Amino acid sequence: MSGSGGTFVDRIDPFAKRSLKKKPKRSQGSSRYRTTNDVELQPLPLLKDVPGSEQEDLFLRKLRQCCVGFDFLDPVADLKGKEMKRSTLNELVDYITAGRGVLTEPVYPEIIRMIACNLFRTLPPSDNPDFDPEEDDPTLEASWPHLQLVYEFFLRFLESPDFQPAIGKRVIDQKFVLQLLELFDSEDPRERDFLKTVLHRIYGKFLGLRAFIRKQINNIFLRFVYETEHFNGVGELLEILGSIINGFALPLKAEHKQFLIKVLIPLHKVKCLSLYHAQLAYCVVQFLEKDPTLTEPVIKGLLKFWPKTCSQKEVMFLGEIEEILDVIEPSQFVKIQEPLFKQIAKCVSSPHFQVAERALYFWNNEYIMSLIEENSNVILPIMFPALYRISKEHWNQTIVALVYNVLKTFMEMNSKLFDELTASYKAERQREKKRERERDELWKKLQALEMNHHQQQQQQ
Amino acid sequence: MVPTTRQPCQPRSSPSPAAPPSYFPFANQEQQRRQDAVKRTRLGRWCSCVECGPSDNGSLERVADVVSPLLEALVLEPKYQPSLALPQIAKQDGGEISMRMRNGSAHVLRCLKVWYDLPADTFFNAVNIMDRFLTRMKAQPKHLSCIAVSAFHLSCQFTPGYSHVRDIPQVVPDTRDLTSISQCKCSSGDVSRMERIIMDKLATDLRCQPPITPLSLLRLLYNALVHLASPLLPTPDPCLPPLTSLVHKLEIVACDSAAAIYRPSELALALLAMELRHDNNNKAVYYACINHLQNICKITYETFDLCQKVVGELIDQYENQRHSPHRQRLVWKLSNRTLRQLRPTDKFTTRLPTIVEMQGPSHPPIIRPRMDSECSEMYLSSSEEEMDYDYDEEFPPLPPPAASLKSPRKSPSQSPHKKNPAFLPYPQLSRKHTRVA
């Protein structure tokens, strides 16, 4: 993550709150350079006032008119023009929604051209390089009054009953989609929301673009995970993918399985996971519901990326694990129980009370309890030492109470094994203490010997 | 109850050590037998130990050490015998404690014993106190948990700890800690008050004498058995199961109200009998010893049979590691911060409908020799979706867009038809990731 601001000390400390000073937010326009001369827009008649035969032509003229951009960074510049464009766009939105037969073949390229003119722009670099998505307000797009209407128009266009993908595919091509995808990095969440719906519709209607879209999304994610760790639209893209994964045909294609293991799992690695964890977890669980044999690689992947220093992430991971266990098949559970519960035993022993709490709460889940009971002879010995130790040593009373609950549950589940483990654990502790005592005594003897030796030497 | 030890041979008040006149031909033998009988009866407790082989004086005296405390315990046994008259299942109006509730409390006490790392005596004493209290008083179900916890606390105070064994100081848990951890829904003040009531009602001063429980009888009977059996067994050490595992099983037995109607000696002996029936080699010896002890304890055959059945069932459940019939409804208290976000998808909502993946008709896949094997396999599968769509030919790889120039992989100079790693279905990943088939 690029962070050039802040003192040197702040940069060392990983827990420092990035934006301590709330800078006054000013909305940003995209980097478009306008000529200083105001462009004069010729007022055109309303579409409803014109006879049917002329409507297409007027429609095209209005579309072309809307290709003119305006500078919103300066709030007072060209107010008349801005208002005219805004009302034209509004009119176009209504026209396309209500009208029948308005989507003739010639209008498709013009529509796309108008949309491309307005939307496709280089996004400005972030105003605040230390932007903390959870704390700070996002920088909003200055030209939103127009952009919103363009997005609205685009959406109605795609969703129109008159829309024909066969014609549309000539103008909505890979280049267009690529530029659309880049816009997902916008800081304005309203824009991303529109983009999400737009891309979802495009994916739905254009079968020919599906593979390409999936591939490009992969590229974006992989770049995000392994290169930049910066992309604002991960959550929205994952939401779209969720609806795609939901619709996967069985048996799952190798491409999709590859995507899960090589892209979705590594997405858990990133520091800002909290921004999109809900969508990511949803995707992962959807995959597992489609193909339960993927459970083992998923769990192993999560264990590999298990957070070691960030406790908040650990709590998120534990939540995701519980969701996965909610849908797991017993045969799959048996495959992953050992490594998983070894990690859970570590979490339960964590001095961070939230991590321990979340891990212990697994035992309140009926289905997980039934799975544990089926395999108690494997799981109890793994969990027992950690639980027994914490019951004596943990500082937090809530945790101690939860540990009691878990131990009581184990006792009810399998008394015999529980008693055996208690006895052997105690015996082990006794042996340890004995060894420690012997070592202490040995040191004392050595010390006494040494002092003796010293005294003898001094006497001589 | 006045103790009477059954003696087949009448005690001789004045033994006659003088040798009889030599005209009696078997006088010496008779005298020897009489002397032995005197020794036995002088001890006053040993009855018809016919199988005892070597009858040297030493072992008989050691046996006395083992038997006398047993008999003392048997004398005191009735004083501590509860007789629970609780219904099996609670009535609808909820006014009475049922056997099931009592059993649940007993299991809670067992868990507390483990939690505080206390000796088994604490548990047995606590259950005994609770049972005797419930025998005397008709209590309401809402007070049961308080009764149980108070009994436990009393037991902790009056049961000698392990200090003489393991340098562990006697642990008396704080009542506040006890009430919160056991989730008994009463305050420490309630516990103190209940303790006073219990002490008052039971009218036994626990300081003088810990109650006679199945555990105490188990220990005594175990020792007695060892002493009885070891001279008779071929191997020097008796292959009895270790006492600790027997204690655990006895705890399980004590938790069940079906066992509460039997005397502690009956339960302990039944447990020993159940455990030893598996040892096929020495079955006869053990059977005889158990029989003998049964006589000492004055257990009738019918009672012993029934007791063994009950104990046997409970032990079976334990051995088969089956789930206990009691499941306490525990309170899982979490901090607010954790409660706010339990599962990641709790707050996930989407308005995007599912997009169904299209299955193309199966036709021979397009062979792409220039791609590496992994990618071609993946690409073949996705080409089915776009049927006659040959995406590589209709859309040659695009020049890299301006924004992503920072990626080192994409180089603008490459010809579109040359294999470009950036446009394979998945970019080349670093080798440390294993490939998924």
What ipTM does the predicted assembly reach? 0.80
Q: Report chain A residues whose CB lies below 8 A from the CB of B379.
A: 255
Residues 396-435 of B with CB under 8 A from A: 398, 401-404, 406-407, 422-423, 425-427, 429, 433
Q: Determine whether the interchain pair B323/A412 forms a contact, defined as Cβ–Cβ distance below 8 Å.
A: yes
Three-state secondary-structure class, residue A49: helix
Which of B333, B334, B395 minimises the CB distance to A174? B395
Which of A174, A257, A404 minimises the CB distance to B115? A404
CA distance B296 to chain A (A): 32
pLDDT, tens digit only, all 437 positions of chain B:
444 444 444 444 444 444 444 444 444 555 555 555 544 443 333 333 333 434 444 455 566 677 888 888 888 888 888 888 788 777 777 778 888 899 999 999 999 999 998 889 899 999 999 999 998 888 888 899 999 999 999 888 887 654 445 555 667 888 888 988 888 888 989 999 999 998 888 876 666 677 888 898 898 888 888 888 777 777 655 567 888 889 999 999 999 988 888 888 899 999 999 988 877 777 888 888 888 888 888 889 999 999 999 999 999 989 888 787 778 888 898 998 888 889 999 888 889 999 999 865 544 444 444 444 443 333 333 433 444 344 444 444 444 444 433 333 333 443 333 333 333 333 333 333 333 33
Q: Report chain B residues whose CB lies below 8 A from the CB of A319.
A: 341-344
Question: Do the beta carbons of residue B239 and residue B279 sit within 8 Å?
Answer: yes
pLDDT tens digits for A34-80? 555 555 677 888 888 888 888 888 889 888 888 888 888 888 888 88
> Which residue of A lies nearest to B179 if distances are taken between CA atoms?
A401
Higher pLDDT: B390 or A21? It is A21
Question: What DSSP designation does A28 have?
Answer: B
CB atoms within 10 A of CB A365: 14
Q: Determine whether the interchain pair A353/B378 forms a contact, defined as Cβ–Cβ distance below 8 Å.
A: no
> Which residue of A lies nearest to B381 if distances are taken between CA atoms?
A253
Confidence of residue A322 (pLDDT cuts 50, 70, 90): very high
Lowest mean pLDDT among A8-12, A323-327, A450-454, B277-281: A8-12
Q: Determine whether the interchain pair B324/A178 forms a contact, defined as Cβ–Cβ distance below 8 Å.
A: no
Higher pLDDT: A129 or B276? It is B276
| Cα-trace Rg, chain A | 32
CA distance A323 to chain B (A): 7
Interface contact B391, partner A, CB < 8 A: yes
Residues 304-333 of B with CB under 8 A from A: 318-319, 321, 323-324, 326-328, 330-333
pLDDT tens digits for B360-393? 554 444 444 444 444 333 333 343 344 434 444 4
Confidence of residue A245 (pLDDT cuts 50, 70, 90): very high
- Residue B421 has what pLDDT? 32
pLDDT of A179 over the 90 cut: yes
Name which of A413, A415, A436 to mutate to probe chain B: the one with the most chain B Cβ atoms within 10 A of its Cβ: A415
Could you list the beta-strand ranges (E) of A52-140: none
**Which string of DSSP letters, residue by residue, matches A247-289?**
T--SSPPHHHHHHIIIIITGGGGSTTGGGTHHHHHHHHHHHHH
Checking B184-191 for CB contacts under 8 A at 24+ apart, the result is: B184/B145, B184/B146, B184/B148, B184/B149, B185/B145, B186/B145, B186/B146, B186/B149, B190/B146, B191/B146, B191/B149, B191/B150, B191/B153
Q: At a CB cut-off of 8 Å and minimum separation 6, what does B28 contact?
A: B19
- Residue A52 has what pLDDT? 80
Question: Cis omega (within 30 of 0) on the bond before A138?
Answer: no
- Residue B366 has what pLDDT? 46
Residue A277 and residue A140: Cα distance in Å, rounded?
23
Q: Which residue, among A264, A240, A273, A308, has the nearest Cα to A133 in the 3D structure? A: A273
- Residue B203 has what pLDDT? 72
Q: Report chain B residues whose CB lies below 8 A from the CB of A122.
A: 402-403
pLDDT of A349 over the 60 cut: yes
Q: Report chain B residues whose CB lies below 8 A from the CB of A402.
A: 332-334
CA distance B93 to chain A (A): 28
Confidence of residue A159 (pLDDT cuts 50, 70, 90): very high
- Residue B280 has what pLDDT? 74
Q: At a CB cut-off of 8 Å and minimum separation 6, what does A80 contact?
A: none
Higher pLDDT: A44 or A380? It is A380
- Residue B369 has what pLDDT? 46
In the chain, the amino acid numbered B112 is L
pLDDT of A261 over the 70 cut: yes
The mean predicted confidence, pLDDT, of chain A is 88
Q: Determine whether the interchain pair A417/B321 forms a contact, defined as Cβ–Cβ distance below 8 Å.
A: yes
- Residue B204 has what pLDDT? 66
Question: Do the beta carbons of residue B171 and residue B118 sit within 8 Å?
Answer: yes
- Residue B88 has what pLDDT? 78
Three-state secondary-structure class, residue A141: strand
Name which of B112, B314, B351, B382 to mutate to probe chain A: the one with the most chain A Cβ atoms within 10 A of its Cβ: B382
- Residue B435 has what pLDDT? 35
| Cα-trace Rg, chain B | 38
Q: Report chain B residues whose CB lies below 8 A from the CB of A227.
A: 406-407
> Which residue of A lies nearest to B425 if distances are taken between CA atoms?
A215
Interface contact B348, partner A, CB < 8 A: yes
Residue B327 and residue B142: Cα distance in Å, rounded?
18
Interface contact B381, partner A, CB < 8 A: yes
Taken in order A80, A86, A88, A90, the sign of the CA dihedral is: negative
Which of B166, B352, B382 minimises the CB distance to A211? B382
Which of A242, A246, A354 minimises the CB distance to B335? A354
Name which of A245, A255, A264 to mutate to probe chain B: the one with the most chain B Cβ atoms within 10 A of its Cβ: A255
CB pairs under 8 A between A and B: 203
